[in-house]
Structure 1
Amino acid sequence: MDIQERLKYCKICSNRAYNNYGVVCKLTNDKPQFKNRCPYFIEDSAEREAYEARLFDEKIRNGSFASKNFYSTHERLILLAQHYLPAEFRIKRYKIGLYALTSMFLIMIGVIFLGVSFGGVYSIALTCFGLAIYAFILNWKNLKVDALELALVNKEGITIAGGDFISWSDVTLVYCNLNLMKQGSYLVLNLLGKSEPLKLSINGSIGGSIILTICEAYRKMN
């Protein structure tokens, strides 16, 4: 952990102070020297909220479209999700076969036709929906069985499969990152004490917007 990573804690700590060199610890009147987490860290809730707001503006609200960063949820959805959250939620990657992909396409076509329905177009829309249901039935076994667990989420934090547990108290921002050139979709977590965010690939999961909403619902329960 370098000095800049340590200062992420200091900037939202009630024991922070300032001198000619910038932010220092008022207990030692010096730059932070701790290795992992300061034993004297006391979170300043108001400063933490302001810090997260600035980070949101920097990464999402004022970010360029080229950054591919998206906060694809809303405070009302987060509050609604909190009423229905289970004790824990498992983020999984599902194996979706050709039939399932075809069904998704047919559903979209059906919705489009229903949106502009007139005359005999109803039959086309119903045919699309019928074929979509048939495709899902054929591929349902794969959708349910072939699943790889990516992470476990609860009100305490998120545990990455094969990795470490991350407490929500160490997370300052959660958002989605979409990179069409690399065909990748990621859940991104900005962390205190880390210069680089944690990226979790969510390709083949239930969808970035849903996962983001669920993670934020758990995170904001604390």
Structure 2
Amino acid sequence: MPRPEPRPRTARRGQLLEFAVLGLLHDGPLHGYELRKRLGTALGIFRALSFGSLYPCLRALVEAGLLAASTADADTGASTSRRPRIAYELTAAGKERFQALVAGAGPESWDDDDFDVRLAFFSRTEAQVRLRILEGRRSRLEERLALIREASLRGRERMDSYTLALQQHGEDRAEREVRWLEELISAERRHTAYGSNLQTQPHTKE
């Protein structure tokens, strides 16, 4: 079955930013500065995120009714010339939107940036969805690994030592991630089986 046409990179990044913002605000309201800091420290894809990219996203989410913005003075007793700080929090519609996004497990969630963002919010993702994403990501990495190995065998004689080293590095990195994913998948399956056993065990009175 052919893969769906990939979204333009800018559109994908914008949708990932929306997902990440909604996820970070799920725990409580944040000011724009704190939100940008958390996006940069917790999610590598947004490490260089500028306010020029973040604030249009926040405004769009407010206009869509997914966020509410409240204004408060940055420093009580400070000069009134200072700009007020704006805190953002999820609305009921924003919570519903996040739950809908976190329930998705399609092929896009297996890609590099998408997977990293999804993984950051696995604690709020249902077990079966987590498992589908992990298995999909493993499949994607196994495809990549096969392509790397094929290219290496086909062109090894024409490659210089630096290109060979780079290709070997890519192969090693893919192999490590596949092993890591297999560990996560095994742990997820054990956790799911344990939960199922608890639900099916009869309750006995003391």
Give the TM-score range, shorter chain.
under 0.3
- Select the structure that is richer in helix: 2
RCO comparison, higher one (Cα < 8 Å, 6+): 1
- Select the structure that is richer in strand: 1
TM-score when scaled to structure 2?
A: 0.21
